[in-house]
Amino acid sequence: MKEERGSWGSNIGFLLAAIGSAVGLGNIWGFPYKMGKSGGFTFLIVYLLLAIFVGFVIMMGELAMGRKTGKGTIGAYHDLSKKFKWVGWLAVFSPFVIMSFYSVLGAYCIEYLALNLSNLAFAGGAIMTGSDLFVAMLTNPFGAVIFTLLFMVICYLINRGGIASGIEKFNKVGMPALFVMLVIIIIRSLTLPGAVEGLKFMFVPGYAVEAGFIEEAPGFLTVLATAGGQMFFSLSLAMGAMITYGSYLSKKESLVKNSVIIVIADTIVALMAGIAVIPAAVATYGPSAALSGPKLLFITLQDVFSAMGTVGPLFGVVFYLLVLLAAISSAISLIEVISTFFMDRAAAKGKTGKRGKIVFWTCLAIMVEAAVVAIDGLGANGMWVPFQNAFGIIGEFNDCWLDFMDTLSEGIAMPLGALLMSIMVGWEIKPKTLLEEIDPSGKKWLRVFFSACMKVVVPIGMLLVLVGQIDTFFHLNIF
């Protein structure tokens, strides 16, 4: 059975793939801008605490669920609990929804990469400003659909190759390359005059308010909700990705050690991305640039590269290629969650060798929903969006299809999935069911830590994150 499902070629191959899943647009795009919006240093501390007490625990739990049952998300929930078996569906629904916009953002990276490449070859500098370029791209739905298709074809070709010779192979080259490129961008960013302001904004407590970056620090619960949502998304949790990757992992490997490495690596890359992006933005455009939200990646940074003169497009190529690699390595894990479910189901009926077909249909279904997000162009093309401005209370989080899909998945399904998972593990099947898989030697500190976090810390944390998201979504201003 194991042979037919496939498995990782080596532990390092698994690690690079899991880190590849974790390191994505969330690190390079989400982390720097959310840190900017949430007052820098405070956000960082809250994020780190959440990564240790919630992220690390759920990471171990998810890997254990996959490895113990030897099945993908739906199968794993099904085998572990009668009451909670439907949660598996939630954790397959979310990757499907996330892919609707993740693929479009990946497509934007290809477009920016192509643009910088052509600038490098022909113009010797950027021809348009970041914002003109962004608008031109968004208002060209045909181009967006074509590039989204290209992104999906790349993912399809990797996933079709299977666990060891597709996903693992890609990450073994992609992840080290991404790291080297990130270091190059950091060196460039930190050597720009004025970069130190950006660093202070990130690391000096209270500096963001003191230096006028933001008027007042956001409330603690708002920071908690933002950091919590970000942490889950960034670590690829509550989406079935780690359950799926864990189901292909050999029983010999340590789940504790692997989880520690994945969480640390993902956090380091998020911090490195912050150091690559924020000081460059602040050095070129002043404090407001750090707070420019989602625009940071596609407008501000493109302007930063343009301002560098002739070498600008070269850094542009390196940067957008690294973002593209990060997007692909995450997207393939999301696709794998969905296709593993269908492959396990086919295998249960005695049908094997269907990977190619299943991956094809999965990618095609994603392409259909992604086309809607691509055509919408972040709301630039006047498309109808479900519940837009409904009752006059749903506003900024539902301005376009991308926001709608993001709120549905990252905003609601993910924290809800994590909350339900922790209740199932903590109170229904009991932590010891997974602890047997996580640490057969039964270390006391781990037992106490895992049980306390699963039973109490994670459910409370997740509840707060969920309420925080709903609060922001409906403009309730409870916090």
Query: What are the residues binding ligand PFF (CB under 6 A)?
Result: 21-22, 24-27, 95, 233-234, 236, 239, 241, 330, 333-334
Cα angle at 277 between 310 and 189, to 5 degrees? 50
Q: Given the structure tokens 């299943």, which residue do they identify?
A: 358
Per the structure block, which two tokens stand in for 126? Answer: 């950027």
Minimum distance from residue 294 beta carbon to ligand PFF (Å) = 13
Minimum distance from residue 82 beta carbon to ligand PFF (Å) = 25
**Nearest to ligand PFF of 96, 147 (CB atom):** 96
Helix (H) or strand (E) holding 108: helix 87-118
**Nearest to ligand PFF of 269, 291 (CB atom):** 269
**Nearest to ligand PFF of 126, 262 (CB atom):** 262
Among residues 326, 1, 307, 390, the alpha carbon closest in space to that of 129 is found at: 307
**Nearest to ligand PFF of 333, 362 (CB atom):** 333
**Nearest to ligand PFF of 109, 308 (CB atom):** 109
Distance from chain centroid for Cα 30: 8
Minimum distance from residue 45 beta carbon to ligand PFF (Å) = 20
CB 59 within 8 A of CB 263: yes
**Nearest to ligand PFF of 22, 296 (CB atom):** 22
**Nearest to ligand PFF of 195, 249 (CB atom):** 249
**Nearest to ligand PFF of 407, 451 (CB atom):** 407
Would you call 407 exposed, middle or buried from its count of C-beta atoms within 10 A (0-12, 13-18, 19+)? Answer: buried
Among residues 97, 222, 215, the alpha carbon closest in space to that of 475 is found at: 222
Minimum distance from residue 441 beta carbon to ligand PFF (Å) = 30
Could you give the angle at which helices 41-50 and 255-285 cross, rounded to 10 degrees?
170
Minimum distance from residue 174 beta carbon to ligand PFF (Å) = 14
Minimum distance from residue 103 beta carbon to ligand PFF (Å) = 12
Helix (H) or strand (E) holding 246: helix 241-246
Minimum distance from residue 31 beta carbon to ligand PFF (Å) = 8
Minimum distance from residue 293 beta carbon to ligand PFF (Å) = 16
| Long-range own/partner contacts, residues 473-479 (CB < 8 A, 24 or more apart) | 473/394, 473/397, 473/398, 473/407, 473/411, 474/393, 474/394, 475/393, 475/395, 479/219, 479/221, 479/222, 479/225
Per the structure block, which two tokens stand in for 293? Answer: 């939200």
DSSP 37-87: HTTTHHHHHHHHHHIIIIIHHHHHHHHHHHHHHTS-HHHHHHHH-STTTTH
**Nearest to ligand PFF of 151, 233 (CB atom):** 233
Minimum distance from residue 73 beta carbon to ligand PFF (Å) = 10
Coil, strand, or helix at residue 312?
A: helix
Minimum distance from residue 127 beta carbon to ligand PFF (Å) = 30
Would you call 471 exposed, middle or buried from its count of C-beta atoms within 10 A (0-12, 13-18, 19+)? Answer: middle
Minimum distance from residue 236 beta carbon to ligand PFF (Å) = 4
Residues constituting the chain? 479
Q: How far apart are CA 269 and CA 256, in angstroms?
A: 20
Minimum distance from residue 209 beta carbon to ligand PFF (Å) = 28
Q: How far apart are CA 279 and CA 298, in angstroms?
A: 16
Coil, strand, or helix at residue 459?
A: helix
Cα angle at 377 between 139 and 409, to 5 degrees? 175
Q: How far apart are CA 342 and CA 345, in angstroms?
A: 5
**Nearest to ligand PFF of 181, 241 (CB atom):** 241
**Nearest to ligand PFF of 24, 426 (CB atom):** 24
**Nearest to ligand PFF of 21, 159 (CB atom):** 21
Distance from chain centroid for Cα 284: 27
